[in-house]
Amino acid sequence: MTNNQLTDSGHLRHFLTIEGLKRPLLTEIMDRAEQFSSITNRQVKKVPLLRGKTIMNLFFENSTRTRTTFELAAKRLSADVMNLNISTSATSKGESLLDTLHNLEAMHTDMFVVRHSQSGAAEFIAQHVAPHVSVINAGDGCHAHPTQAMLDMFTIRRHKQHFPDLRVAIIGDILHSRVARSQIQALSTLGVGEIRVIGPKTLLPSDCQTLGVHVYHDIDEGLRDVDVIITLRLQNERMQGALLPSAREYFQCFGLTEEKLQLAKPDAIVMHPGPINRGVEIASTVADGPQSVILEQVTHGIAIRMAVMSMALGSQSELAEGSTP
């Protein structure tokens, strides 16, 4: 994909995918998030940076965590934020996506945060918005979920610091996971030593090798000596598609249990983008155990989203007429 998410001077204008972004930009997102996370320790947990900006959360697909943390991030930056649950609004009355969009634009929106079940939806919207509007992808189909990947990188960096020394394993349904796709791109851009994917053949993409990852169908082998374990949610619809026999059998083969966790390094961290299916991809004792950083990931989501929103809206000044950078 061409990098239409950057301005001419290389600043973030939209945030649609990790693909094509360079390491310094990913590092800048994490550094800025680090600064924003200190705001939480104050009496007034917000800064006036985006005061007067209007942000629309356009969620064509359900979400609790992502939508809430985007909303909180916008509020901590003093932006006005609206949540639109599109499945219950105008599109269900027959209005086209672009008509909905242009109507919201006419309300002087500065940013759209888009979640859609269709891959490429956020990019489509980014191509059709007015020049002064930024678009953030909050998950599109099986394609990308870049803010989730960045909050995961941020969580890893908080615990492990130096990416090239790390061995990271992602377990589960890589094939249908926009989270895994964005994570793999981010991990490899940040120069992680080894990326492993672990799962049944039916849930791994056929072109896995070209992603620069090592493929394991045996969880015991795959977890050996890793520093970071990322478990992915097993979506129920995969079972219906006959890709898997049953949740119980999946847990026996690929569920992360305390016993299997022992195979990783003693200080390995366990991550999950949520929502978790206890007893399907991860045992409760692991999800709630001392090596789990799952709730930290949620907290970090706010700071990462503050960073991305402020960077994208900040670059709009470059587009303003007659401005000098």
Partner 1 sequence: MTTSISNIDTLLTSMANDIRHQLSDKNILLIGIHTGGVWVAKALAELLGEDFFDGSLGTLNIAYYRDDFTRIGMHPQVAPSDLPFSIDDRHLLLVDDVLHSGRTVRAALNEIFDYGRPASVSFAVLIERSGRELPIQADIIGQSINLTDEQHIKLSNGDSGLQLELRSND
Binding site for partner 1 (CB under 8 A): 11, 28, 31-32, 34-35, 38, 42-44, 46-50, 52, 77, 310-311, 313-318, 320, 323, 325
Q: Min. distance of Cβ 145 from partner 1 in angstroms? A: 24
Q: Min. distance of Cβ 15 from partner 1 in angstroms? A: 14
Q: Min. distance of Cβ 81 from partner 1 in angstroms? A: 17
CA 128 vs. chain centroid, Å, equals 23
Nearer to partner 1 (CB atom), residue 69 or residue 315 = 315
CA 147 vs. chain centroid, Å, equals 4
Q: Looking at residue 225, what DSSP letter applies? A: T
Tokens 């299997």 belong to 260
Q: Min. distance of Cβ 38 from partner 1 in angstroms? A: 5
Q: Looking at residue 159, what DSSP letter applies? A: H
**From CA 274, how far away is CA 85, in angstroms rounded?**
20
Nearer to partner 1 (CB atom), residue 109 or residue 231 = 109
Tokens 């600043």 belong to 11
Q: Min. distance of Cβ 93 from partner 1 in angstroms? A: 36
Per the CB < 8 A criterion, the answer to whether 140 and 289 are in contact is no
Could you give the 3-state DSSP secondary structure of residue 114?
Answer: strand
Residue 275 preceded by cis peptide, ω within 30: yes
